[in-house]
Copies of this chain bind each other. A is one copy, B any other.
Amino acid sequence: MSDLRVAVLGVGVMGADHVARIQNKISGARVAVVNDYLTEKAEQIAAGIPGCRVIADPLDAIADAQVDAVVLATPGPTHEKQLLACLEHTKPVLCEKPLTTDVETALEVVRREAQLSTRLIQVGFMRRFDHEYAQLKALIDSGDLGTPLVLHCAHRNPSVPPSFDSAMIVKDSLVHEVDVARFLFGEEITSIQIIKPAANPSAPHGVADPQIAIMRTATGKHIDVELFVTTGVAYEVRTELVAERGSAMIGLDVGLIRKSFPGTWGGQITPGFQERFGQAYDSEVQRWVNAVHNGRSTGDFTDGPTAWDGYAAAAVCAAGVESLDSGDPVEVTMVDRRSVPRA
């Protein structure tokens, strides 16, 4: 299967991040086209990618015959037109949130896609792909905890750009918990209240921060969210599910912690080496592949343990086996490394 030719529209922070991701980490795709309203930026990025073109007009990029799929990282107000173009040209599109900037146009996009026989639009609510959220969802779906009842969330940023205002806390921060709640509970939210406690003295003047959002779903499940974007600490996203037969919390930097009958708290130990070291294997191989690509110029086709490391480990283990028999300490015998130049 040949690599998917992706057009990335908008190469600000998020879009540039997607470009790097697709080029360096994703199998089966490459960035074929980049676009930005700052053409220079687009050209700079394209220059670093073999075979990548700049197309100045986003609608031309979407329509381009050499583009198989689109990543939309443009400003929200342009989404509607670009999404409709994707639908028109039957181009699959991964659209960074928001879908569009108001409810009416969002519904219009939904309706236009529904008229097609395929589903083309995916929205970038990436939390659904986070291991911890996926675990929490699986735990709910397993039924082990019984009926889900309540969700407590905290969403804290150390700081935000100067332009961040009170409404953006709802539209840009809370929106993630809105999707998380819908995802975990599998039902729609029917009411919402925003509480404004006394503001953080360190928050910019006039910004209501922190805020507390109280939401309720169709069947009466309760969700509360602390939104606090000027904590000065770090990035903390926590979600606790309270259910009929126990609770579970993610986002405390210690994995999913579950509380269950008859009164225990704790987490899961990695069951095997694949779970424990899967990430390590992936990184090992990716870095090795990169090193091999670069080896012709560097003369070094490795990026990790060398043959000498293999030899040293062998020498220690051989002494270990000897000690296993005798029970006594055994000196490790190795040649002087300087006797093997370049090792």
Contact = CB atoms under 8 A, between A and B. Distances in A.
Contacts of A29: 285, 289
Contact of A282 (B26, B50, B305): B26
Contacts of A301: 69, 92, 118-120, 122
B341 A129 contact: no
Given A111-B343, A197-B221, 12 more contacts: A25-B27, A25-B286, A27-B27, A94-B288, A120-B302, A129-B280, A175-B317, A178-B317, A193-B330, A195-B214, A233-B259, A263-B268
A107 interface: yes
Nearest to A117: B299
A115 to B, nearest CB: 8
Given A117-B299, A234-B259, A332-B188, A27 B17 contact: no
Contact of A21 (B109, B262, B285): B285
16 contacts: A26-B286, A28-B289, A69-B301, A100-B310, A107-B311, A114-B343, A118-B300, A129-B283, A150-B228, A182-B312, A192-B329, A193-B327, A195-B327, A231-B242, A234-B271, A254-B255
Contacts of A4: 289, 292-293
Interface stretch (A33-41, A52-60, A205-213): A205-213
B263 A158 contact: yes
Given A267-B265, A293-B28, A295-B92, A321 B167 contact: yes
Interface string A306-343: 11111111111111110110011111111100001111
Contact of A332 (B192, B316, B334): B192
A129 B304 contact: yes
A147 B306 contact: no
In the A-B complex, list the 3 residue pairs whose CB atoms are closest, starting with the nearest. Answer: A266-B266, A99-B310, A198-B220
A22 interface: yes
Candidate in A17, A50, A310 with the most chain B CB atoms within 10 angstroms: A310
A107 B261 CA distance: 42
Contacts of A270: 234-236, 253, 263
Given A99-B314, A219-B198, A307 B123 contact: yes
Contacts of A137: none
Contacts of A81: none
A102 interface: yes
Interface string A245-267: 11100001111010111111111
B201 A314 contact: no
A164 interface: no
Nearest to A222: B197
A106 B311 contact: yes
A290 interface: yes
A89 interface: no
Nearest to A216: B197
Contacts of A17: 274, 281
Given A102-B318, A265-B253, A320-B174, A182 B233 contact: no
Contacts of A68: 292
A310 B95 contact: yes
Nearest to A13: B274
Contact of A315 (B103, B194, B307): B103
